[in-house]
Structure 1
Amino acid sequence: MDHPYASYRSLFPVLASKIHLASCSQGAISKTVSEAMEEYLNSLLTTGVNWSQSIQEVEKAKKGFAKLIGAEPNEIAVLGSVSDIFSTIATSLSFEKGKNKIVTTDMDFPTVGHVWLAQRKFGANVSFIPSQQEVIPIEYYERFVTSDTLITSISHICYFNGFKQDIKAIAEIVHRKGSLLFVDAYQSAGQVPIDVKKMDIDILAAGTRKYMLGIPGMAFLYMKTELAEKWKPRVTGWFGQANHSKFDIHQLTPAPGARRFETGTPSFISAYAATAAIRLLLEIGVENISSYLNELAQFTLDYGQEKGLQVVGPLSADQRGAMTAFYAENAGQIESIMKERNIIVSARNDVIRIAPHFYNTKDEIRQAIDELATVLNTK
């Protein structure tokens, strides 16, 4: 398979000396992102204060993310992490009798379960949809989401094994039951197309350090405008106010749209990085990236099995994102060994995750799987 994005590889210095296949944990940093961060630092060094310029960069990042997911800029808020977003949303809910059920799945990232379980003391009834053979059958949503469900909280792509869910189909089910749909898109934003309007997503959270090719410190919250206007966040701050520069300590006036969920000063350097990274993703096109990664995912599945590795999760690339998980006892130790051999993969519990992005090649994946098979066979 020819590499359609070979001309972009020079933007990622790490690829000159290492095989970087850990986008599910941290995407490779490009020169454009590095230059954007340097721009932020240099402006501080030379001007001393760059507040206005930095605020503009935050707005650019919001607009870029809105375009990435088919939303409007006023439907986007920025917070420090996806965990912050989940906590902010959870504490904004009222758990009333007859409408107090929270439905999530046992395949979601632990933060999700932790946040929802913490709401039990406030009246939430938390229910976990169980996985079956490393996937969540679509019919389980019909069974577990009931008329008393307030919000259904799910991942688009599973962090552990790459299983991808049909968000549009799930949205139809949960909305018919009278539930809101909250999607964790941390493992999908930047690698698969997302259109929040066509998918009918009520709330979505995504961070910048994985497939969005940024750094930690900034996460994006999407919420439908008509929904946001009804909510009054209990976690707030001056950036969540209608006029944050008014400095009126006696008035609480939530900002319009999703911005009311913002709290304090965001990580400006992360905003610079996010703007540059999203610009690159939009330039290439997520549809194009997704098509290429689907080919890489199928190759990873096929070649991994050919080398005797045990796939964890779906065996078809159509049911997963770019990441493929292989069973590996002592995965953390194996990750370290692979790193010593200049191959960056990501361990979780008893799996090694191979997660390419558009800058990777089939030959890199082949070399990584060869090395992984060798390491596993010598353990």
Structure 2
Amino acid sequence: MTSAEHFRKEFPIFQSKIQLSSCSQSAMHFSVKNAVNAYLESWEEKGMDWHNWMAACENARKLFARQINAAVDEIAIVSSVSHAASAISTSLQPADGRNRIVVTEFDFPTIGHVWRSAEPQFTVEFFEKNEQGINDCSDYEQHLPDDLLLFSTSHVNFYNGYKQDLQRISDMVHRKGGYVFIDAYQSFGQTPIDVKEMDVDFLAAGMQKYGFGIPGIAFLYAKKDIVEDLTPRITGWFGQANPFAFDIRGNDYAPATKRFDSGTFPMINGFAAEAALTLMHQLDMPTVERHLEKLSTVAAQEIEQAGLINRSPFAAQEKGSTTAVYAENASEVEKLMAAKGIIVSARNDVIRIAPHYYNTSEDIRTAVNELKKSVKKGSTTS
């Protein structure tokens, strides 16, 4: 596996800037840029290259499946995690007196919006977060209802980076007789994911954040033995067993999770995803995870020394890459930092410092030093 130092050299932005925004958008690798250009060149030179465009998307599907230890036919190509969650929410039916959907309050808001849109077919309730803005497994164990149909939560929290034990969560949910849906957008690409070992039922992730890719393409995993009983309500011609039969009257869904494919794939996004996933397969995820734990420790130390407020006060092993720093006017601070060549990501009242494998301890120190100056100019801590 390539070293972090060598890996960093493959991202052009580090010649002039420090990018610490992987919770929102990772830095661009030269191979991803080349892949996007390859699509544009094929379009320009050939007019249409359907076979190779499709092949790139299908290879991205295979690479994603391999990355999470799933079978290829357990993966659907979707446009976003919102799309993935909607595909499940509209196909799932109450069963055996179960119609209760429980959503953790620290999920990304799109998840709550999706399940609220499915009311009144389902009873939707929100699991309130505690004072630290999280919940732990003991909370779930005590309070998950007996009529649970599905429990939805995130692997790594988008706001403060808290990381959950998916295997333990799956065990608890399954003992209650429910399904578990995982939003892995903030974890995919920075920590190992094995859907078989973790025993999750549904998992969705996109490429834009720690996946080295761009928005507009995401992937949905669903267990094969579950999904065959689901009838898609969000579908399209690629969700058919043979889309090229061009049978407008037929409705023969593709086997397993591919039935949740919908319209024509976003080809340019597929090219970027194929390159990004190829890049990801060159990395060892446990090594990436350990590197980010080290950077989280550095961030916590630097934030404390700077007198800033750390909204991610967790042990490095209990969190993902993101460390959130309180800033009342976070959006303004983000702009001030960007003007200094330091790319971070604002969310609500925090600035998120979110390194990837290409970042260094010095990146963190520089960012926190400038953040201290920018917070004083842009907002008042409390």
CA deviation after TM superposition for structure 1 residue 4, in Å:
3.5
CA deviation after TM superposition for structure 1 residue 96, in Å:
5.0
- The answer to whether 1:263 aligns with 2:253 is no
Measure, in 2, the Cα distance between the counterparts of 1:8 and 1:139. 39
Q: Which amino acid is the alignment partner of residue 61 of structure 2?
A: K
CA deviation after TM superposition for structure 1 residue 318, in Å:
1.3
Corresponding residue SS for 2:77? strand
1:36-75 equivalence runs, <5 A: 36-75=35-74
Corresponding residue SS for 2:145? coil
Q: Which amino acid is the alignment partner of residue 225 of structure 2?
A: E
CA deviation after TM superposition for structure 1 residue 58, in Å:
0.9
Measure, in 1, the Cα distance between the counterparts of 2:4 and 2:315. 24
Which residue matches 1:247?
A: 246
**Contact map agreement 2:242 2:254 (CA 8 A) in 1:** yes
1:359-370 equivalence runs, <5 A: 359-370=358-369
CA offsets per residue over residues 63-120 of structure 1, 9 Å max, x none?
1111111111111110111111111110011135721000111100000001111111
Question: Residue 315 and residue 142 in structure 1: after superposition, are their counterparts in 2 closer, same or farther (change >3 A)?
Answer: closer
| Identical counterparts, % of pairs | 44
**Contact map agreement 2:136 2:164 (CA 8 A) in 1:** no
- The answer to whether 1:195 aligns with 2:209 is no
Q: Which amino acid is the alignment partner of residue 275 of structure 1?
A: E
**Which runs of at least 4 in structure 1 moved beyond 4 Å after TM superposition?**
none
Measure, in 2, the Cα distance between the counterparts of 1:142 and 1:124. 22
CA deviation after TM superposition for structure 1 residue 8, in Å:
1.8
Measure, in 2, the Cα distance between the counterparts of 1:378 and 1:32. 38
Corresponding residue SS for 1:284? coil
Measure, in 2, the Cα distance between the counterparts of 1:143 and 1:243. 47
Q: CA RMSD in A?
A: 1.2
Measure, in 1, the Cα distance between the counterparts of 2:284 and 2:277. 10
Which residue matches 1:353?
A: 352
1:270-289 equivalence runs, <5 A: 270-289=269-288
Corresponding residue SS for 1:205? strand
Corresponding residue SS for 2:150? strand
**Contact map agreement 1:82 1:207 (CA 8 A) in 2:** yes
1:112-123 equivalence runs, <5 A: 112-121=111-120, 123=121
Measure, in 1, the Cα distance between the counterparts of 2:116 and 2:95. 16
CA deviation after TM superposition for structure 1 residue 223, in Å:
0.7
Structure 2: 5+ residue stretches without partners: none
CA offsets per residue over residues 280-334 of structure 1, 9 Å max, x none?
1110221211111111111111111111111113331111101100100100000
CA deviation after TM superposition for structure 1 residue 145, in Å:
2.0
Measure, in 2, the Cα distance between the counterparts of 1:338 and 1:17. 14
CA offsets per residue over residues 214-248 of structure 1, 9 Å max, x none?
00110000011111111111111100000000000
Structure 1: 5+ residue stretches without partners: none
**Contact map agreement 1:331 1:347 (CA 8 A) in 2:** yes
Measure, in 1, the Cα distance between the counterparts of 2:368 and 2:206. 28
Measure, in 2, the Cα distance between the counterparts of 1:97 and 1:313. 40
Measure, in 2, the Cα distance between the counterparts of 1:294 and 1:70. 23
Corresponding residue SS for 1:188? coil
Which residue matches 2:106?
A: 107
Structure 1 window deviating more from structure 2 (64-73 vs 90-99): it is: 90-99
Which residue matches 2:165?
A: 166
Which residue matches 1:29?
A: 28
CA deviation after TM superposition for structure 1 residue 144, in Å:
3.0
Measure, in 1, the Cα distance between the counterparts of 2:38 and 2:321. 32
Q: TM-score, normalised by structure 1?
A: 0.97
Which residue matches 2:126?
A: 128
Measure, in 1, the Cα distance between the counterparts of 2:154 and 2:184. 6
**Contact map agreement 2:105 2:128 (CA 8 A) in 1:** yes
Which residue matches 1:10?
A: 9
Structure 1 window deviating more from structure 2 (270-279 vs 142-151): it is: 142-151
Corresponding residue SS for 2:9? helix
Corresponding residue SS for 1:311? coil
CA deviation after TM superposition for structure 1 residue 378, in Å:
3.6
Measure, in 1, the Cα distance between the counterparts of 2:267 and 2:99. 37
Which residue matches 2:314?
A: 315
Measure, in 1, the Cα distance between the counterparts of 2:133 and 2:261. 35
